Amino acid sequence: MELQVHTKDRTYPIIIERNALSKAKEYIGTDRVFLISDDGVPEKWRESLKAQFPDAVMHVIPQGEGSKCFAVYQDVLAHMLELHLSRKDTVVALGGGVVGDLAGFCAATYMRGIRYVNIPSTMLSMVDSSIGGKTAIDFQGIKNCVGAFWQPSLVIVDPEVLSTLSPRLLHEGMAEAVKMGMTHDPKLFELFEQDNYMDHLDEIIERSLKVKQGVVERDEREGGERKLLNFGHTYGHAYESYHELNRYLHGECVAMGMMTVVQEPELKARLKNVLERLELPLECECDKEEICRLVQNDKKADHGTVTIVQVNELGHGFTEEWDNAMVRKGIGL
Ligand SMILES: NC(=O)c1ccc[n+]([C@@H]2O[C@H](COP(=O)([O-])OP(=O)(O)OC[C@H]3O[C@@H](n4cnc5c(N)ncnc54)[C@H](O)[C@@H]3O)[C@@H](O)[C@H]2O)c1
Ligand SMILES: [Zn+2]
């Protein structure tokens, strides 16, 4: 299956196909590539890509968020320069959101921008971070604080690659798909309510990508509708920064964040049921006062209120402004 994403800068395809990784070269259509991956991406996937480009170099960064930093960014750029990469060359990222964000930012800034192909290899990156054009590294403890909007010229999604992902990482990525079902696509949400949602993995990915594609096309730079994809993220980010020791993964915090804001009883029960099936946490162990402070410091807080994405009816996300009392009430204070 192929989706076309239309953005201001370019139109690009997303290929969604089992075993597409083994045909990546056909889709990419050039030999002049610089491959980037991380050492947590199983070797068999890295080898599958590398074997198709015998003359290309693969730059392998250490796995983990820590690689989204200036030092690694600089290493990659230095390597690209050393190889005399030009604007005719293509950066190809194989990995999760960390590799995608870093490689995308390198592509966006090297020689004022070169072609970039993303091959996401985690559930989260397949359904969420691989499209939309946001690229970034972290700086001075602030996530994604140095970055650029840079659209890929091609995204290759091969669901087969998920076979090596741990259940925990698979499920946390699915939290983002549940989110998109909640805000935009009831059928996507209902797939998770079926007995064996894993039989619908490809459809889950396709539907999530369609939601994200539609939102990105309508609102490339997050002026309006794209904010709806922050559903679960306002409290989610607070839970994430509260537990600095990475006790919870991002998608797990989004799951708890969704549970915190949804009020409508029937919908909340359905959401709870789906998150339980995915073995995602429902409630965060934390100091609630501190969470309120963090929520109000969130970058979406403005004029003393916080913009919260809410869902009362499946598939219809909307934003509302919560004042201090509502932020406290949301978390049960
Ligand atoms: N650009 C965006 O729009 C956007 C959106 C959401 C998140 N993000 C970013 O994405 C990052 C998180 O991405 P992530 O959740 O994919 O994490 P990740 O990239 O850190 O990957 C998680 C782990 O899985 C390993 N891995 C990757 N593919 C694998 C596979 N097929 N089998 C087994 N292991 C595999 C990785 O080596 C890593 O250790 C964060 O930095 C976040 O800021 C960006
Ligand atoms: Zn998210």
The pLDDT value recorded for residue 9 is: 78
Ligand 1 within 6 A of CB of 271: no
Q: Give me 202's structure tokens.
A: 């490809």
Q: Residue 283 Cα, ligand 2 centroid: separation in angstroms?
A: 17
Least trusted range by pLDDT, from 15-19, 185-189, 195-199, 204-208: 195-199
> Distance from CA of residue 86 to its chain's centroid?
28
Q: How far is the C-alpha of 130 from the C-alpha of 25, rounded, in Å? A: 18
Of 36, 41, 46, 215, the one to substitute when testing ligand 1's pocket (max ligand atoms within 8 A of C-beta) is 41
pTM for the whole thing?
0.94
> Distance from CA of residue 209 to its chain's centroid?
11
pLDDT reading at 190 higher than 90? yes
The pLDDT value recorded for residue 108 is: 97
Determine the 3-state secondary structure of 258 from DSSP: helix
Ligand 1 within 6 A of CB of 129: yes
246 compared with 155, residue with greater pLDDT:
155
142: Cβ–Cβ under 8 A, 6 or more apart, which residues? none
Q: How far is the C-alpha of 147 from the C-alpha of 283, rounded, in Å? A: 32
Instruction: Give the number of the atom of ligand 1 that is nearest the alpha carbon of residue 132.
Output: 3
199 DSSP 8-state letter: G
Least trusted range by pLDDT, from 37-41, 76-80, 221-225, 247-251: 221-225
pLDDT tier for residue 7 given thresholds of 50, 70 and 90: confident
pLDDT reading at 259 higher than 60? yes
All domains of the chain in start order, with CATH: 2-164 (3.40.50.1970), 167-330 (1.20.1090.10)
**Per-residue model confidence as pLDDT tens digits over 119-156:** 999 999 999 989 889 999 999 888 899 999 999 999 99
Which residue do the tokens 């990475």 mark? 246
Q: Residue 262 Cα, ligand 2 centroid: separation in angstroms?
A: 17
Count of H-run helices and E-run strands, the chain: 13, 12
**Per-residue model confidence as pLDDT tens digits over 285-330:** 889 999 999 998 765 555 678 999 999 999 999 999 999 899 999 8
The pLDDT value recorded for residue 246 is: 72
Of 5, 46, 126, 129, the one to substitute when testing ligand 1's pocket (max ligand atoms within 8 A of C-beta) is 129
pLDDT tier for residue 245 given thresholds of 50, 70 and 90: low
Q: First-to-last CA distance in the chain?
A: 47
